[in-house]
Amino acid sequence: MRILRISQDSNGTDRLLMLNQARFPDIVADTGTSAVDAYASAARHSARVKRLKIVLPLAAGVIALVFAAISFIRAFLPEELQLETATIENGKIVMQNPAISGRNRQDISYSMKAQRALQDIANPDIITLEKIHAEMPVNETLVATVDATSGIYDRGGNTLDMNAPFTISMNNGVNADFQSAYLDIDAGEMETKHPIAISMNGGSIIAQSLRMTDKGRIVTFEGMVRVNVEPSAIRKNAK
């Protein structure tokens, strides 16, 4: 198993914390190793480091993507929600086409809508959203688009269970495909035990699971982690 863990320091700069069992050979081997072998080993190590340096901004994009997903769910405030119709079915209040739109403090527009929202009458803190589409600003220049099959929001525990596949794409070329994810909003943690695929211009990360802690400052990819970097990105980074 390979584990790739990336963190952000207090200045917001990405740094590599651990790459476990990646089989990076030592640059200086034992006395029986030839100079040619030592040079080849160092060259391979240098190439891996270059690839990781290019992938680090991708990890920062993942952090932004995750918190974008959190933001759009929390923005479904009852006093701002617009409904077409509401009925009661099987002990649940069913709201058709709930939607919300407006502008944030930076005067950047956002919009969110779902096909249905279901609220359990016996436990009104549990809200299920179906067929979700949202467009929201992450910052002044970055906009995230979220498309999700469904999500279960627990207002009491402030958790979000994305129990079906969803995608997050950004206008800077970053795209993330999740099969599921569980978010503890107050703790700033997210975990998925299903495969994920994240791509951007110049590279991609594929892993079998992901865990985010410390409010997004640490992101850990686990299980057959594959990092792909296009040669053009390596050449650009070397300049």
Residues 51-108: tens digit of each pLDDT: 444 455 555 555 555 655 555 555 554 444 555 667 888 888 888 888 877 777 777 7
> Rounded to an integer, what distance in angstroms lies between the CA atom of residue 154 and that of residue 161?
8
> Rounded to an integer, what distance in angstroms lies between the CA atom of residue 130 and that of residue 42?
52
Global pTM reads: 0.70
> Rounded to an integer, what distance in angstroms lies between the CA atom of residue 185 and that of residue 158?
6
For residues 68, 69, 70, 72, the Cα torsion angle rounded to the nearest 10 degrees is 80
Across the chain, which distance is largest between two alpha carbons, in Å? 78
> Rounded to an integer, what distance in angstroms lies between the CA atom of residue 60 and that of residue 134?
21
Residue 127: band (very low, low, confident or very high) from pLDDT cuts 50, 70, 90: confident
The tens digit of pLDDT for each residue in 136-178 reads 777 778 788 889 999 898 888 888 899 999 998 888 888 889 9
- Joined together, the tokens standing for residue 189 give 């943690």
